[in-house]
Amino acid sequence: MSSEGVVAAVEPGLRRLFAWFDHEAAAVMTILLGLFQVLLAVPLAYTDPSLPKFFILPLVLGLLIVTGGTFTIANERNSSRLLLRGCACSHAVSLLGALLGFCLYCYNLSALSNEMCEADPPIHDFRICPPKAHLAAYCWSLTLLLLLYDIGAMVLHCLLTVSALKALKTD
């Protein structure tokens, strides 16, 4: 049998930006970063006195990040144009949410730093430190972790968004 008339069907998939960039590994890392943000929203709900409803941000942002990573894995397994478009849209929305989260995490860190610096007088022995200072330090460390996870998610979403948009443009 001759295969002259057979044309290989090219499925629309994500395009590799770099030789070392693996989409599935990036998607798994994105899902993990989103899950870490969702999990850190729970202790933040009970501890952050400066912004009482601040725990909603990592919860929603983590769910957006997990959704973007899930779309990438689904697109890698069963590639279609509609799934690729959903992947690009979810990564773009997650990237915008991560940028908003970055700004709010930085604001919260500066507010908590000011709250921690207002201790009368500065106490260097943590055993006699007032509980409010411990709580402020704990909130500060949680917010710093969320900021670091958010930065990682922003980098991955930026790479995955560019890859998805490049694939949509070439198809």
**What's the burial of 121, exposed, middle or buried (CB within 10 Å: 0-12/13-18/19+)?**
exposed
Residues 6+ apart with CB under 8 A from 121: none
In which residue are the tokens 């949410």 written?
Answer: 97
Q: Is the pLDDT of residue 93 over 50?
A: yes
* H or E, element range at 156: helix 131-170
Q: Give the model's pLDDT for residue 6.
A: 47
Average pLDDT over residues 157-167: 88
SS3 118: coil
Q: Give the model's pLDDT for residue 8.
A: 42
Q: Is the pLDDT of residue 116 over 70?
A: no
Best mean pLDDT range from 13-27, 59-73, 76-90, 130-144: 59-73
Residue type at position 50: S
Alpha carbon distance 149, 161 (integer Å): 18
Q: Give the model's pLDDT for residue 122.
A: 55
Q: Is the pLDDT of residue 98 over 80?
A: yes
Q: Where are the domains of the chain?
A: 23-114+125-170
Residue type at position 44: L
Alpha carbon distance 97, 170 (integer Å): 27
Q: Give the model's pLDDT for residue 79.
A: 83
Q: Give the model's pLDDT for residue 7.
A: 44
pLDDT tens figures, 61-88 = 999 999 999 998 998 888 888 888 988 8
The half-sphere exposure of 148 on its side-chain side, counting CA atoms within 13 A, is 8
- With contact defined as beta carbons under 8 Å apart, do 143 and 102 qualify? no
Average pLDDT over residues 93-122: 79
Q: Which of 135, 117, 129, 109 is closest to 49 using CA atoms?
A: 135
Task: Give this prediction's pTM.
Answer: 0.77
